[in-house]
């Protein structure tokens, strides 16, 4: 019985520690979204987001693209990389963002596509491949304020020097409970690849993936 109590106590301590670490992760996600690190770089990366059924950019993709255009017009980088969606599709997030950027005054030759990705981790891989072709080392990564922390982790894993630039630093302007939901979702998006590597059941990580990417 004493051994059982020790085991229960140890499990309780481990569970409490896991909760504390996850809350710290959520705090870091929130904090990263409040800071615009934009500075001169080789390229600006626009992370993909929802495309509407009519082929137009959804609100998030529109905000990301417009923000990237402002950074380009401010002279912070001479090129844009647009990511996301099925490779070669005219309605991919990357293609839609490129067309929107062109309509906002960016020269077509200054925009590169890194499509063929449906997840942030894949966005980073595809964007890094384009950057490697041009020997680019630094990138301003543009996304939703509660998404930039996760994006930074995946891009840094590809060896890129990353400066995150959220579409807004007013995280408090995101209404509750959506702000809490987005933050928890982002935390899950950071954890699930590690859970996969640790051998957690596929159905667990599949649920986390749906939570993170279903409304990407």
What is the domain partition of the chain in residue ranges? 43-172
How buried is residue 22: exposed, middle or buried, by Cβ count under 10 Å (0-12/13-18/19+)? Answer: middle
Greater confidence (4 vs 145) lies with 145
**pLDDT of 133:** 97
How far is 179 from 190, CA to CA, in rounded Å? Answer: 17
Q: Which two tokens stand for residue 124?
A: 């980073």
Greater confidence (211 vs 5) lies with 5
* Average pLDDT of span 195-209: 53
pLDDT bucket at 1, cuts 50 / 70 / 90: low
C-beta neighbour count of 129 within 10 angstroms: 12
Q: Is the pLDDT of residue 216 over 50?
A: no
Tens of pLDDT, residues 63-84: 999 999 999 999 999 999 999 9
Tens of pLDDT, residues 87-112: 888 899 999 999 999 999 999 999 99
Q: Is the pLDDT of residue 150 over 80?
A: yes
**pLDDT of 84:** 94
pLDDT bucket at 171, cuts 50 / 70 / 90: confident
Q: Which two tokens stand for residue 74?
A: 């401010």
**pLDDT of 87:** 86
* Average pLDDT of span 134-141: 98
pLDDT bucket at 215, cuts 50 / 70 / 90: very low
Altogether, the residues listed in the chain come to a count of 216
Q: Is the pLDDT of residue 195 over 60?
A: no
pLDDT bucket at 152, cuts 50 / 70 / 90: very high
Which residues share a beta bridge with 142?
A: 46, 165
CA 131 to chain centre: 17
Distances in Å between the Cα of 177 and the Cα atoms of 108, 140, 174 are 40, 29, 9
pLDDT bucket at 201, cuts 50 / 70 / 90: low
**pLDDT of 2:** 63
Q: Is the pLDDT of residue 42 over 90?
A: yes
**pLDDT of 53:** 92
| 160 within 8 A of 137, measured Cβ to Cβ | yes
How far is 197 from 205, CA to CA, in rounded Å? Answer: 10
Fold category of 43-172 in CATH: Rossmann fold (3.40.50)
DSSP the chain: -HHHHHHHHHHHHHHHHHHHHHHHHHHHHHHHTT-------SEEEE----B-TTSPBPHHHHHHHHHHHHHHHTTS-S-EEEE-BSTT-TTSHHHHHHHHHHHTT--GGGEEEE-SBSSHHHHHHHHHHHHHHTT--EEEEEE-TTTHHHHHHHHHHTT-EEEEEES-S-GGGSPTTHHHHHHHHHHHHHHHHHHHHTT--HHHHHHHHHHHHTT-
| 195 within 8 A of 62, measured Cβ to Cβ | no
């Amino acid at each position: 019985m004493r051994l059982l109590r020790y085991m229960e106590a140890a499990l309780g301590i481990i569970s409490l520690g896991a909760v504390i670490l996850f809350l710290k992760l959520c705090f870091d996600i929130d904090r990263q979204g409040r800071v615009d690190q934009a500075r001169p770089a080789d390229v600006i990366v626009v992370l993909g987001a929802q495309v509407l059924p009519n082929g137009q950019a959804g609100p998030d993709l529109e905000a990301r693209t417009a923000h990237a255009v402002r950074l380009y017009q401010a002279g912070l980088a001479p090129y844009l990389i647009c990511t996301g969606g099925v490779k070669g599709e005219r309605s991919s997030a990357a293609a839609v963002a490129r067309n929107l950027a062109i309509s906002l005054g960016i020269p077509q030759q200054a925009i590169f596509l890194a499509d063929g990705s449906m997840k942030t981790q894949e966005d980073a891989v595809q964007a890094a491949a384009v950057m490697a072709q041009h020997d680019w080392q630094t990138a301003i990564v543009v996304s939703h304020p509660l998404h930039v922390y996760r994006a930074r982790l995946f891009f840094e894993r590809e060896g890129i020097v990353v400066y995150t630039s959220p579409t807004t630093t007013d995280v408090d302007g995101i209404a509750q409970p959506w702000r809490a939901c987005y933050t928890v979702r982002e935390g899950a998006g950071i954890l699930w690849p590690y859970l996969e590597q640790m051998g957690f059941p596929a159905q667990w990580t599949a649920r986390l993936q749906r939570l993170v990417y279903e409304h990407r």
